[in-house]
Structure 1
Amino acid sequence: MKILFLGRGGNHPATRYRITQYLDYLKQNGIEYALEFFPAGFFGWLRLVRLAGNYNAVFIQKKRIGNFWLWLFRRRGCKIIYDIDDAVMFNSSRHSSPDSPGRMKRFVKMVRASDFVIAGNKYLRSLVEPHNKNCAVMPTTIDMKKYPAKDYESTGTGACTIGWIGGGKSIVFLNEIMPVLEDLAGRFDIRLKIVCNTFTESGRLEIIKKQWKEEEEAADILTFDIGLSPLPDDPWSKGKCATKLLQCMAAGIPTVSSNAGVHPDMIKDGVNGYMAGSPQEWMEKISILINDSIKRREIGLSGRKTVLDLYSVEANAPGLLKILS
């Protein structure tokens, strides 16, 4: 089987987590492939169409491609596999309304034109299936070789580091719970570490600002004592695949996350993480972990096992191979 992967860019998270980290496994199991990125102009697309003639299928990541190019790919004898890990059919949480008729129309056309759709979570699958029954869930996954477990034996006794890692557009979600963190700073010896390219400020809480770098993110997460994953409860957020939450769990970091989106599918409250809705719940759940280092270890290592069993490359690679074969 020969697959032409079309990704969003070499450093784009969706490409790294849903294509690149599987390529060695696929090659070892008989899949020949090429990885290309979406071109900017007509002649770039024309080059891809010509290239596609050498492959059995085109794996298209997230982008809704025009019917003309899909038709040309089919004329070259290619099946269309569409991979979606975001609610591209809705406006983001920054908009006043999630509804976007144009986005939904393009999404439906792309799904109907595909031979198979890979959805990043059950919510996305529920939006795909009315238009294409050939759909399976494959979660965004973590390469566990990159994430050693936190060494709790050598953890110090100083300030408790509460950590958040994410993209610049998502820091608004952290800002929503900043009043909780500032109140906690008046009761406990804590500091907030932000790993991002954009930062927030506080006059009541010590903030460590760390520029995000791909090659350093696993080491940065290991400096957390508690990981946070706040998220609004809206259609766009339900399509998220919780990569940053999974990264913290993979490293054995205990987490507190919003009871929203895909989080309830991943977290059993009080077992492999905590979930919170109201400010009071955020306060209570974070306080439990600040106060109890043994609980931090138990929750963190349970979360790591969840990732190993269900959300790791190793656990999901055979399923992707079956789809592509």
Structure 2
Amino acid sequence: MKLILIKFGKAWMTIRKNGILKGGQRILEYLFIFLKLLFGAKKGDVLFITGGVGDSAHYRSHNVAEELKKHNFKCSVMIQDNPFLYRYANNFKVFIFQKTISTPTLQRLIDEIKKQKKEIIFETDDLIFDEKYLHQMDYWKQMDKFTKQQYEGGQGSELLKDNYVKTCTTTTTFLKNKLEQYNKKVFLVPNRICDEELKIANKLYSNLQPTTYNLKTIKIGYFSGTISHNKDFATITDTLINIMDKYKQVKLVLVGPLDIENKLNKYSDRIEQLPMVSRRKHYANIASVDINISPLEIDNEFCQAKSALKFFEAGIVGVPTVATATQSFQDAILDGRNGLVASNEKEWFEKLERLITDNEFRAKMGAEARKTVLKKYTIKNSNNKEYYNYLRKLI
């Protein structure tokens, strides 16, 4: 019942943000993924148990499973709603719990795993495991009571605090340091682009014309992804106003759930707002802009925990990024070499201005970003030997 109520709450928020038509379409897409994950996990080495079907599950369960398969592990992904989940304790050697919610069914699986003395790995890509950080989520106050249930006490905290669980995986150095405070062995397993999306991105990139970087209109794109980014975007609203006042050729493309401030209303004829789309269409939207921006609240620990995902999703289609100078973005972006990072309004303005006015520089940043992504952020070129060797000892 708890899982049903949480899913009802999420569905309602999706419709409320996107409308009945677009929201309903999004829900149907998630429902299709949900049904695929409910049953049918084949016997193998590693089972990913995921609490949801969104982008987090895509990157942290499906994509990591694909990466492990490429390195000769037998993996399956299953959503925790399966009523016979406990039976799978017999079929795998390693169990990776990704943003799961504590339920009797899940606990029965955990008990079975412990009886057989098999490995449990706790996986997270943000700070929701610790309830003291929840108030830093921008949309925490907007959540309905059903959705909030999944975060009560910290999502997955019962596993993280369990002495049986010795190992964690995560996305960033910032999160790795936080998890190590629980006396766990923590492996850094970066987010990567899967092979299918790489093919889509490569095709989009190959269709770019030499004139792409010499257009009269410059589109700055912001891809919010979730409903938790209103405050992040607000950190650069004044900068964008100054940019749009000075450069009349600039347009904004805002994709995903985002409430923009009233002071941007005077530019409504130069702002295009688009709903969230499927993963396949997502890269086409990114490829349609000239500059990608990824602002974050720099003093917010929840934001510091985020990966450089926004950089590599844009970089793979040759779009340069300006991002807030968090640790993760500074690890991924060499400022002025494969993208740009900014720490304050002055730097945001200067770096956006250079990309707007210097076509050659903009093209170079996009090309260098793509080189970086191909080398470091694709499953095709993954090579996390320490983690693979650890898993091999368990199977």
TM-score bin, normalised by smaller chain? 0.7 to 0.9
Q: Tell me if structure 1 keeps the 8 A contact 2:99–2:124.
A: yes
Partner residue of 2:119 out of 79, 82, 92: 79
* Structure 2 residue 251 is the aligned partner of structure 1 residue 191: yes
C-alpha separation between the residues in 2 aligned to 1:288 and 1:304?
A: 19
Match of 1:159 in 2: 217
Q: Name the stretch that deviates more: 192-201 or 79-88.
A: 192-201
Partner residue of 1:146 out of 200, 204, 219: 200
Determine helix, strand or coil for the equivalent of 2:47: strand
Q: Tell me if structure 1 keeps the 8 A contact 2:67–2:382.
A: no
**1:101: Cα distance to partner?**
11
Question: Which AA in structure 2 matches 1:60?
Answer: F
C-alpha separation between the residues in 2 aligned to 1:79 and 1:108?
A: 12
**1:32: Cα distance to partner?**
2.6
Are the structure 2 counterparts of residues 107 and 277 from structure 1 closer, same or farther at C-alpha, using a change threshold of 3 Å? Answer: farther
Partner residue of 1:240 out of 283, 306, 310: 306
Determine helix, strand or coil for the equivalent of 2:251: strand
Match of 1:8 in 2: 51
Q: Which has the higher helix share?
A: 2
Are the structure 2 counterparts of residues 153 and 323 from structure 1 closer, same or farther at C-alpha, using a change threshold of 3 Å? Answer: farther
Q: Tell me if structure 2 keeps the 8 A contact 1:6–1:61.
A: yes
C-alpha separation between the residues in 2 aligned to 1:164 and 1:34?
A: 33
C-alpha separation between the residues in 2 aligned to 1:134 and 1:203?
A: 49
Question: Which AA in structure 2 matches 1:146?
Answer: I
C-alpha separation between the residues in 2 aligned to 1:64 and 1:16?
A: 17
Q: Name the stretch that deviates more: 210-219 or 139-148.
A: 139-148
Q: Please list every run of 5 or more consecutive structure 1 residues that lacks an aligned counterpart in the other structure.
A: none
Match of 2:291 in 1: 226
For normalisation by structure 1, the TM-score amounts to 0.86
Q: Please list every run of 5 or more consecutive structure 2 residues that lacks an aligned counterpart in the other structure.
A: 1-43, 142-150
* Structure 2 residue 116 is the aligned partner of structure 1 residue 49: no
1:167-215 Cα offsets, whole Å, 9 max, x none, are: 2221331132122112111111100001113453623331111222122
C-alpha separation between the residues in 2 aligned to 1:134 and 1:218?
A: 35
* Structure 2 residue 211 is the aligned partner of structure 1 residue 211: no
Partner residue of 1:296 out of 362, 376, 384: 362
1:133-187 Cα offsets, whole Å, 9 max, x none, are: 4221111112333322372513152210000112222133113212211211111
Question: Which AA in structure 2 matches 1:196?
Answer: G
Are the structure 2 counterparts of residues 2 and 105 from structure 1 closer, same or farther at C-alpha, using a change threshold of 3 Å? Answer: closer
Are the structure 2 counterparts of residues 242 and 101 from structure 1 closer, same or farther at C-alpha, using a change threshold of 3 Å? Answer: same
Partner residue of 2:75 out of 21, 25, 33: 33
C-alpha separation between the residues in 2 aligned to 1:115 and 1:315?
A: 28
Partner residue of 1:264 out of 330, 347, 360: 330
Cα RMSD, aligned residues only: 2.8
Are the structure 2 counterparts of residues 123 and 55 from structure 1 closer, same or farther at C-alpha, using a change threshold of 3 Å? Answer: same
Match of 2:230 in 1: 171
Q: Tell me if structure 1 keeps the 8 A contact 2:161–2:182.
A: no
Are the structure 2 counterparts of residues 85 and 288 from structure 1 closer, same or farther at C-alpha, using a change threshold of 3 Å? Answer: same
C-alpha separation between the residues in 2 aligned to 1:241 and 1:111?
A: 26
Q: Tell me if structure 1 keeps the 8 A contact 2:122–2:160.
A: no
**1:22: Cα distance to partner?**
4.4
C-alpha separation between the residues in 1 aligned to 2:339 and 2:72?
A: 38
Determine helix, strand or coil for the equivalent of 1:58: strand
C-alpha separation between the residues in 1 aligned to 2:274 and 2:219?
A: 13
Are the structure 2 counterparts of residues 8 and 291 from structure 1 closer, same or farther at C-alpha, using a change threshold of 3 Å? Answer: same
Are the structure 2 counterparts of residues 171 and 250 from structure 1 closer, same or farther at C-alpha, using a change threshold of 3 Å? Answer: farther
Question: Which AA in structure 2 matches 1:203?
Answer: N
Match of 2:185 in 1: 134
**1:104: Cα distance to partner?**
9.5
Q: Tell me if structure 2 keeps the 8 A contact 1:87–1:239.
A: yes
Are the structure 2 counterparts of residues 277 and 25 from structure 1 closer, same or farther at C-alpha, using a change threshold of 3 Å? Answer: closer
Q: Name the stretch that deviates more: 188-197 or 308-317.
A: 308-317
Are the structure 2 counterparts of residues 268 and 30 from structure 1 closer, same or farther at C-alpha, using a change threshold of 3 Å? Answer: closer
Determine helix, strand or coil for the equivalent of 1:284: helix
Are the structure 2 counterparts of residues 30 and 270 from structure 1 closer, same or farther at C-alpha, using a change threshold of 3 Å? Answer: closer
Q: Tell me if structure 1 keeps the 8 A contact 2:125–2:171.
A: yes
Q: Which has the higher strand share?
A: 1
C-alpha separation between the residues in 2 aligned to 1:24 and 1:169?
A: 28
